Structure 1
Amino acid sequence: MSEKVIVIYSGGMDSFTVLHKALADGKKPYALSFNYGQRHKKELDYAARVCDELNVPHKIVDISAINALVGGSALTDDIDVPEGHYEEPSMKTTVVPNRNMILLSLAVGYAVSEEATKVYYGAHSGDHAIYPDCRPEFVEKMNDVCAIANYEAVEIVTPYLKVSKTAILTAGLQMGLNYGKTWTCYNGREKACGKCGACQERLEAFRDNQATDPLAYEA
């Protein structure tokens, strides 16, 4: 019987690749998505469609009430979404305080209830400069905590923690994945803006792989 794992699945490129890696590794993934009051829900719609196609169990959990406590991000509040390269200092306005610790804690609880042994999430090296909760030292400490927080130890798995988004895309393309089934843009309009940091990093990854992004862009 396949090992059960929980995959934190946003509907974006990284978690899409992680989900398929879990499947390719012979795991039985349970996808978990969060509505944490982000600027738009488009990525959650993409996540739901993919899980339906793959027949992967999927929960979308509304935790938007946490915004009464952890505001101040361009992804959750009425703050302009910054444009430009992903590693620019302006991208720090997209940090949601303590987001991954909160999401991982909930995912670990779900893992224990489902008798799953691992929680996967898609942190990568490109996030390190901006998001403290995507850095190797954070993952290491969370793993220490998750080993003792319950009677059952749960491992935090980050397959792409030390590689770039370009390398994640390379791995996904080698698996034959269709990234037209993912949404990355910080804006939730009909087409991706092509200007925000998330779009810029995504497009850079496709250029580095000499591939064409199947997603439609405004410009």
Structure 2
Amino acid sequence: MDSKKEVVLILSGGLDSSTLLYKLLDEGKDVTALSFNYGQKASIEIERASEICKMNDVNHFVFDIQNIVDLLSSSLTDKDNDNVQEPINTVVPSRNTILLELATAFAISNEKQEVYYGAIKADIGDYPDTTPEFLKQINELNKVNNYEYIPICAPFINTDKKDVVKEALKLGVPIEKTWSCYVNNDGTPCGECFSCRSRIKAIEEAKKELGMD
């Protein structure tokens, strides 16, 4: 019997990456999850990621890199910036490039075969580092960045958020435990930031199409 493919997943604790975790496990992959504290105000997402990993007996590593927060100016990290209504204000400069290369280094150092992250189609046009072009280019970088090529994969990159929700419902993802809010850190989502609004809309649309409303 073939051994399981050993992969690394960047797990934020949000709906998309949590659904991807369940998808990879359903496919029989041996997943190691990585979460990063980069100074984000909603650090509760890391707690949710840890809880979800414990539920699935998944190895979970949390890396504290918040000392680089001054390099990542964004409303997600700046305590005095509360503008989280539009995507452009919530872009964290080069975040996915930094995190994916750290995950790649981890994968090489620990003999893992692939790196995954939860980019989705709904983000295209909002976040430059969630596009198919970005995915293509960072894989080109990985081909020349180390002696060993570790592919970066984003299975949901052409999938709408409502369809990710459908996948979550099918796989039994504990959606209520995932965390998407950019603002609150007390366990109660604000319901008004860009991330909350897109999450609420996707869940409503998915349940309506599935006849669950």
Q: What interval of TM-score do these two structures reach, taking the shorter chain for normalisation?
A: over 0.9
Displacement of 1:70 = 2.3
2:23 to 21, 27, 34: 21
Q: Which amino acid aligns with 1:146?
A: N
Match of 1:30 in 2: 32
Displacement of 1:40 = 2.3
**Which stretches in structure 2 are left out of the alignment for 5+ residues?**
209-213
Report the 3-state secondary structure (helix = DSSP H, G, I; strand = E; otherwise coil) of the residue aligned with 2:4.
coil
Displacement of 1:60 = 0.5
Displacement of 1:52 = 1.3
* 1:116 equivalenced with 2:112 (yes/no): yes
Match of 2:70 in 1: 68
Displacement of 1:81 = 3.5
Match of 1:157 in 2: 153
Q: Report the Cα distance in structure 2 between the residues aligned to 1:185 and 1:40, rounded to whole angstroms.
A: 7
Query: Residue 6 of structure 1 contacts residue 30 of structure 1 at CA under 8 Å; is this kept in 2?
Result: yes
Query: Residue 107 of structure 2 contacts residue 114 of structure 2 at CA under 8 Å; is this kept in 1?
Result: yes
Report the 3-state secondary structure (helix = DSSP H, G, I; strand = E; otherwise coil) of the residue aligned with 2:159.
coil
Q: Report the Cα distance in structure 2 between the residues aligned to 1:135 and 1:93, rounded to whole angstroms.
A: 18
* 1:195 equivalenced with 2:196 (yes/no): no
Sequence identity (%): 40
Match of 1:206 in 2: 203
* 1:2 equivalenced with 2:16 (yes/no): no
**Which stretches in structure 1 are left out of the alignment for 5+ residues?**
84-89, 212-219
Q: Report the Cα distance in structure 2 between the residues aligned to 1:101 and 1:34, rounded to whole angstroms.
A: 13
Query: Residue 34 of structure 2 contacts residue 63 of structure 2 at CA under 8 Å; is this kept in 1?
Result: yes
* 1:57 equivalenced with 2:59 (yes/no): yes
- Give the TM-score of the pair, scaled to structure 1: 0.90
* 1:186 equivalenced with 2:182 (yes/no): yes
* 1:91 equivalenced with 2:87 (yes/no): yes
Displacement of 1:35 = 0.2
Report the 3-state secondary structure (helix = DSSP H, G, I; strand = E; otherwise coil) of the residue aligned with 1:209.
helix
Q: Which amino acid aligns with 1:5?
A: V
- Give the TM-score of the pair, scaled to structure 2: 0.92
Displacement of 1:147 = 2.3
Query: Residue 81 of structure 1 contacts residue 186 of structure 1 at CA under 8 Å; is this kept in 2?
Result: no
Query: Residue 11 of structure 1 contacts residue 43 of structure 1 at CA under 8 Å; is this kept in 2?
Result: yes
Displacement of 1:180 = 1.1
Q: Report the Cα distance in structure 2 between the residues aligned to 1:105 and 1:94, rounded to whole angstroms.
A: 21
Q: Which runs of 4+ in 1 moved over 4 A?
A: none
What is the number of equivalent residue pairs in this alignment?
204
Cα root mean square deviation, aligned: 1.2
Q: Report the Cα distance in structure 2 between the residues aligned to 1:67 and 1:146, rounded to whole angstroms.
A: 25
